[in-house]
Structures are given as structure tokens and as C-alpha cells.
Structure 1
Amino acid sequence: MQTPPTTVVAAAIATALLLSACAGMPKFDQQGLPAAVQVPTGHRVAMETVGAGEITYECKAKKDAADQFEWTFIGPDALLSDRSGKAVGKYFGPPATWQSNDGSKVTATQLAVAPAGAGNIPYQLVKANPSVGSGEMFGISHIQRVATKGGVAPAAPCAAAHVGSKQKVQYQADYIFWKAA
């Protein structure tokens, strides 16, 4: 009987360890989400990230009521990290853009939102536009924003005297990236 070369044995052990580690990782399950923000069947999770940063709001006159004012969403500025905490990209806007550290990026169009609890920005489902670049973002079809914490419009007053003022609020959310299966 021949003994396999050391490199073959080492590769087999490494593969077995990797597979057993992956088997223990929780798989994202969207079944607990409101139907409006679930990705249609025929797609698979391509990447899971945690976004942490801030959202900028600006005090503006309401669209159809010039004598009333409200905090208006301007855009995000967040670091995207994988589940182990390693920085893998960023999320910024406007327009809302998700960019991988490899330079590939996508913008998207909102399809739906659903409440995520008091004090939290809503869950969101967006349809990705074609990517720029051929890296991690290539082929992304949908992005879900889930597990949101914070990020709602400021509680500070927004009145005529405040028009044009900006406020930043902290937030965190999971961004789940999907591709066609």
C-alpha cells in the first residue's frame, strides 16, 4: 500500500476542515421577513454584510406643503463588513451605491419597504442595476436591508428657521446580496 504524499494529505485535511466550518455557519433565511421585502424565488444568497455608519438628513419644506417642514433622507455613509468583521466594502450615496473593496459596485431601485420596529429604519428590498466592474458585485440582482438598528430621522426640530441644516444619525443594518440561482 502506498502512502499519499504529504501535500495531498494536508490538502484533504484543509478541505475537510473548511467544509465542516461552512456546515456550522448559519444560512440566511428570509422566511421571517415581511413578504414585501422577500427576494423572489430563483435567487440565492451571494454575500452577507453588516453595514455600520451614518445617514444624513436635511431639513426641507414638504413637497406639497411649502409652509410645513420635515427631515429628508439625503444619503448613507457606511462601512460594509463580512460576518467575521472584515471590511469588504462601503455603502454611500446619493445615489445609493454598494461598492466592494475590489472596485465593483452597484446602484439599485427600491422595490419595497416594511416596518422594522420603533426607532429603526425600515427593512428594504431593492433591485440592483447592472454592476460596474466584474468583481463581487457582478451579477447581483437584489439587495435586502434587514436587522436594522437606528437610522431614523432626527428628533431635533425641523422648521423654517432650520431649512438647509443637516443632521447625521448612526445606524446599522445587514445587507444581503442575491444573484440568480
Structure 2
Amino acid sequence: MTTHGDETYVCRRIKSDVPAVGAALQPGIARDGTQLLWDPLGSEALLVDASGQSVGTIAPGRYFLAYDGSYVIGNVAGESQVGANALTWVRYTARFVAARRPGEGRLADISSIQRIDTSGGLPPLPACELEGAHLLVPYGATYMFYRAKGLAPVALSANQTLH
């Protein structure tokens, strides 16, 4: 599936990796060794299938939510910075998978997800000025959903309803 949405950041005081030089402070670093930086909260985006239909959303916290009620929460298993000006490519393992009934729904039985072909999503500067401020940065990506061999979601016809 493809997606276009926003990567959400919050301006937070974060411990700096830059060591102090003698008694002098580096620009932007407070006496306690922290500095204000954009800290990623996660993605907010629509998931679009191959036919161009919106089928769900991605929410901060690595939630992948289908409109049929099934969803996956991912754990980062690995990531790689492929482009200098885009979000990392990420492989998630399914930490939790839910459906109204076992095996039902577009995201039923998902075992892992990959985010590839990313564009955008990075803040213009790593530093920020107002603690607690939020920043939305547009991004696009392709998400590949995997399930164990032989497992496929139970498809519901238009006449069936979930109870």
C-alpha cells in the first residue's frame, strides 16, 4: 500500500550527544547538557491500496488501522537511512494484531511490515525553539504487509456484517 501523510514531531529537551568543550557551552546546549530538538512522535497518514482506494490509516505509536476494524501495532525490528532527505526505511514485526474475529480483516494475521520508498518526512532543522511545539512534515512511502505462508484474511462480501 502507499501512503501520503505527515510525520509528527514535538519540540523536546533532549540530552545532547555533543560533549562540552572545557567550561564553554556549545551553541544551543543548556548547562544541564540538553538541547531543544524535534523528537518524532510517529506518522499520521492514509493507507491506499493498489486500486487507489483508502483502506485505513497509520497513527502515532506504529498503529496500522484498517477500516474493517483489524489493526496491527508494530515494533521496529530494523531501519536504514537510504536517502539523506527522507525518513528511514523500516522493518516492523507485529507486536499485536487484532481483528473482530480471528482471521478476519485486511490486517488479520500480519507478521511484519516494511516501509520503503520514502520521500520527505524530516524536519527542516534538527533544533527547535519552543518546547512543546508540534511540527507536521509531509511524507510519502510504500508499506509492504506480510503474513505467514498459507494465511490469508477472510474476505467478507458486501452482504455480510460482523457481529
Give the TM-score normalised by structure 1: 0.67
What is the identity, as a one-letter code, of the residue corresponding to 1:120? A
Corresponding residue SS for 1:130: strand
Q: Is the 8 A contact 1:120 1:150 kept in 2?
A: yes
Per the alignment, residue 171 of structure 1 pairs with: 139
* Residue 101 (1) aligns with residue 67 (2): yes
Where does structure 2 lack aligned partners over 5 or more consecutive residues?
A: 17-31, 150-163
Where does structure 1 lack aligned partners over 5 or more consecutive residues?
A: 1-48
Per the alignment, residue 3 of structure 2 pairs with: 51
* Residue 130 (1) aligns with residue 96 (2): yes
Give the TM-score normalised by structure 2: 0.74
Which structure shows the higher helix fraction? 1
* Cα distance in 2 for residues equivalent to 1:123 and 1:177: 14
* Residue 117 (1) aligns with residue 96 (2): no
Q: Is the 8 A contact 2:36 2:127 kept in 1?
A: no
Say how many residue pairs are matched. Answer: 130
Q: CA RMSD in A?
A: 1.6
Corresponding residue SS for 1:129: strand
What is the identity, as a one-letter code, of the residue corresponding to 1:167? L
Call closer, same or farther: CA 1:152–1:170 in 2, change over 3 Å: same
* Cα distance in 2 for residues equivalent to 1:79 and 1:72: 22
What is the identity, as a one-letter code, of the residue corresponding to 2:34? D
Q: What displacement does 1:180 show? A: 1.1
What is the identity, as a one-letter code, of the residue corresponding to 1:73? P
Q: Out of 112, 136, 141, which is 2:111 matched to?
A: 141
Per the alignment, residue 87 of structure 1 pairs with: 54
% same residue: 32
* Residue 72 (1) aligns with residue 39 (2): yes
* Cα distance in 1 for residues equivalent to 2:120 and 2:50: 20
Q: Is the 8 A contact 1:154 1:167 kept in 2?
A: no
Per the alignment, residue 42 of structure 1 pairs with: none
* Cα distance in 1 for residues equivalent to 2:55 and 2:40: 25
Q: Which runs of 4+ in 1 moved over 2 A?
A: 63-67, 153-157
What is the identity, as a one-letter code, of the residue corresponding to 1:86? Q
Bigger Cα Rg: 1
What is the identity, as a one-letter code, of the residue corresponding to 2:105? G
Q: What displacement does 1:169 show? A: 0.4
Corresponding residue SS for 2:119: strand
1:44-86 deviation digits (Å, cap 9, x = unpaired): xxxxx00110111111111466531211001211000012211
Q: Is the 8 A contact 2:13 2:35 kept in 1?
A: yes
